[in-house]
A and B are shown apart, each in its own frame.
Chain A
């Protein structure tokens, strides 16, 4: 059974930094693309970033580009999101989500990498002074 468990969400001041983690189990972690998706309180879903199974290819939403960095530790089956320069608008529940496939030859524009067949329970990040 696929399990994804996020952690690291806390209250942080504007301009601060935070690293989220997502511990994965129940599947071959290095064989699947992974994403972070966020949901502001009472709002809809917003895709944040995706990383290939090997970790060599990443993409970001414009709203976080240059501030957030996605990475993964294959030896520890853990996905990360390093968040710098946090703003009030980054306040949200952050979900890690598994794709049904992986990028091919470093290219992730395929359909198997960009929808999500398993989700974690989410971790709340609050950016406020």
Chain B
């Protein structure tokens, strides 16, 4: 199974600043990687798929990059509504489909 490892576990950033979240795959997933945002008590929401394509309605301040085993999600200027937990997910080598353990983005 492809293990997804996210870092850091918790990231503290001030509103208006840039946040960069990392995701590493235990083997190549080429560009088959998605990012989800989850707020407390809510379902996950798709932000990015195919490494860098924003899902419908996702603001341009969210961007994704990487290839193979190393990926990033960047939020260019944090808004209050962006503080949440973020998960990466690979869909290259499945089953099983696998998620990272999540990065909690909190207000500094």
Contacts and interface: CB of A to CB of B under 8 A. Distances in A.
Q: Do A and B belong to a common assembly?
A: yes
Interface of A: 35, 37, 44-47, 50, 59-62, 95, 100, 109, 111, 114-122
A11 to B, nearest CB: 20
A44 B46 contact: no
B92 A35 contact: no
Contact of B44 (A45, A109, A114): A45
Contacts of B98: 47
Contacts of A115: 32, 34, 46, 49, 89, 91, 97
A45 B89 CA distance: 9
A46 B32 CA distance: 17
A111 B32 CA distance: 7
A122 B40 CA distance: 13
Interface in B79-103: 87, 89, 91-92, 94-102
Nearest to B6: A44
A59 B44 contact: no
Nearest to B30: A111
Interface of B: 32, 34, 36, 42-46, 49-50, 55-56, 87, 89, 91-92, 94-102
Contact of B46 (A37, A45, A62, A117): A117
A114 B97 contact: yes
A66 to B, nearest CB: 14
Contacts of B46: 115-118
Nearest to A45: B99
B49 A44 contact: no
Contacts of A46: 99
B54 to A, nearest CB: 12
A47 B97 contact: yes
A45 B87 contact: yes
Max count, chain B CB within 10 A of own CB: residue among A100, A116, A117: A116
